[in-house]
Structure 1
Amino acid sequence: MAKKGRDPKHDYNDAMFLLKVEGWARDGYDDCQIAEMLDLTANYFSELKGKLTVLSVALKKGRQPLEVLVENSLFKRATGLKVKTTVRKWVVMPNEDGEDQNVEVVQETETELPPDTGAAMAWLKHKKPEMWNIATKMQMEQDINMNGSISIDSWLDANNEGEDSDDTEIEEDFDGE
């Protein structure tokens, strides 16, 4: 008689289960902590990662920095991308006997989305703010005198941004006593 193993505690192929594991990885939990939350030993969880690619992929995906994913999506949108879409339609067609029957028609299309100028501006403003921040550039242009020079106050303001100033005046209120 063959020995029967016990049923697994979790459905490791369930999308919701994998999403939960991915979320824990994204929240910064390590493998031991995730194994504990799943009521598994760390060694068994490590074995599962080696056997089940879906579990390993969920952990890797969760640990990938979200900023990188958003940055990549923004970059793709800014430079243009190709999008594949699948449309399923039911069409009534006659069969061999001349009777009408429903036939599913699957149509796959690939659409090229042009670069999005809004996404491109957002990308440039965050990657090269000194060059692409319109408000700063406009202010600098306004501060340039007719002879092509910039006023010293504007230059100081632009170069001391974010620094603490030691020359603030302190006003004192006296009652005259």
Structure 2
Amino acid sequence: MARPTDYRQEYAEQARKLCLLGFTDKQLAVFFGVNESTINRWKQKYPEFCKSIKSGKVIADAQVVESLFNRATGIEVTEVEVRDDGKKKVKRVTKKHIPPDPTAQIFWLKNRQPELWREKSTVANEVKIETSPISSIFEQSK
């Protein structure tokens, strides 16, 4: 007789929210107090659980991609500062340009166009095999 499942319907929404925070399947397993293999079984047995995990991961990945893109290309940001001098509140709005980040550009290019931007290491090995005078004596005696 098989043990009843620990899965509950509310796990689907909890898993989605955790995946939005970047959780992996292994981290989900720790959160739910089960093995990673159990998470994989739940994904197969409960389509809503699988769908919620995929949904959370897709959204989280898209946010990271957008952030990386903004770092690589530069971005305009608006900062709002509110100061209270005791008599009145003063609101100051400032637009700032954050320049492109070369490290983000390199990362982007190496991963998006590896055939053009990958650092290629070429190693040339030359092996010269010479016969020793002793080996040539043995060859002659055969």
Shorter-chain TM-score bucket reads 0.3 to 0.5
Report the TM-score, using the length of structure 2 for normalisation: 0.47
Report the TM-score, using the length of structure 1 for normalisation: 0.39
Larger RCO, structure (CA 8 Å, separation 6 or more): 2
Greater share of helix? 2
